[in-house]
């Protein structure tokens, strides 16, 4: 799985002008499943996200996790993270999982995250979403598990 993680002061997702998911301080996580990914891969990603130390401690060092700061997680599906532009200017998305697998693994990420963390919001798989965020830092980290 591929994830792009942004430390945010706040973030929300709109679909058709309605807010469907929102958090204050926390992590905005864009998630993309790849064809070889499994439930175990999704679980490993969630474990990594919950332990990722990107929030500042009292000394100003990135030493705290989203759990430590009691922050939120806004998890959004984004198959375009698997884009391959090596063949030209138009991206190919053949490295992304098929929609059925992608949706199942996205739902697995959500359910696992919600079972382990109190504040988890989401977008909607396959929807045309508007994602609004205030990137804190900015801190943006790519993850591949």
Do 122 and 110 touch, CB atoms closer than 8 A? yes
Q: Name the residues annotated as catalytic.
A: 78-80
Query: How do strand 26-32 and strand 72-77 relate by DSSP bridges?
Result: parallel
Token pair 């508007």 in the structure block, residue:
130
Strand segments, DSSP code E, in the chain are 2-15, 18-23, 26-32, 55-56, 62-64, 72-77, 120-122, 130-144
Q: 80 phi and psi, to 5 degrees?
A: -70, -10
């Amino acid at each position: 799985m591929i994830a792009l993680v942004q430390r945010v002061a706040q973030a929300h997702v709109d679909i058709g002008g309605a807010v469907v998911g929102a958090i204050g301080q926390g992590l905005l996580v864009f998630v993309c499943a790849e064809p070889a990914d499994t439930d175990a891969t999704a679980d490993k990603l969630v474990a990594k996200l919950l332990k990722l130390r990107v929030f500042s401690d009292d000394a100003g060092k990135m030493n705290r996790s989203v759990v430590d700061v009691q922050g939120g997680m806004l998890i959004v599906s984004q198959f375009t993270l698997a884009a391959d532009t090596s063949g030209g200017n138009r991206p190919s998305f053949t490295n992304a999982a098929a929609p059925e697998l992608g949706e199942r693994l996205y739902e697995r990420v959500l359910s696992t995250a919600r079972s382990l963390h109190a504040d988890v919001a989401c977008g909607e798989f396959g929807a045309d979403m508007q994602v609004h965020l205030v990137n804190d830092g900015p801190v943006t980290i790519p993850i591949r598990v």
